[in-house]
Amino acid sequence: MGAAHIDTTMDAATLLRNAGLRVTTPRRAVIDALRLHPHSRADALFQVVTATVPQTSLQSVYNALSDFVDAGLARRIEPDGHPGLFELRVGDNHHHLVCTSCGDVRDVDCAVGETPCLAPADTHGFALHRADVTYWGVCPACTGDAASLTS
Ligand SMILES: [Zn+2]
Ligand SMILES: [Zn+2]
């Protein structure tokens, strides 16, 4: 997709142009919403976008997100049992921690930088680009809840 070196600190218009997408107000607003709220559902991003661009439709947010994913500008992650979550940070092979209790999602960097950190025993001839790893566990807030319930 040629999007491995997107610098997501660039302003929204530059990001869109670099990804080959036309710069529109809803798209810029969705980029800004993703930047502030990574790992968000489309409907949550829609709430954020309409706070600044009230005339935006939910469909245009969905369209923008799918355009971003196609262009390699955003990534869609789908932890088991969760709706699709979107984030801007792509191309760095980072992984996710997901809390099985409250669904909180955190980024964790790949242990070996850009190289896929999971080297399969047999690649079956595939040229590997990345490995997506989801670590499942219970976040500190939920661990605290459980401890206070049992004490
Ligand atoms: Zn939790
Ligand atoms: Zn992430």
**Running along the chain, 151 residues long, what does each successive block of 10 average in pLDDT?**
55 92 95 92 96 94 95 87 83 82 86 58 77 86 71 48
Question: What is the structure's pLDDT at 69?
Answer: 92
Ligand found nearest the CA of 76? 2
Question: What is the structure's pLDDT at 4?
Answer: 44
CA atoms within 13 A on the CB side of 91: 14
Vertex 65: Cα angle to 34 and 139 (nearest 5):
45
Distance 34 CA to ligand 1 centre (A): 21
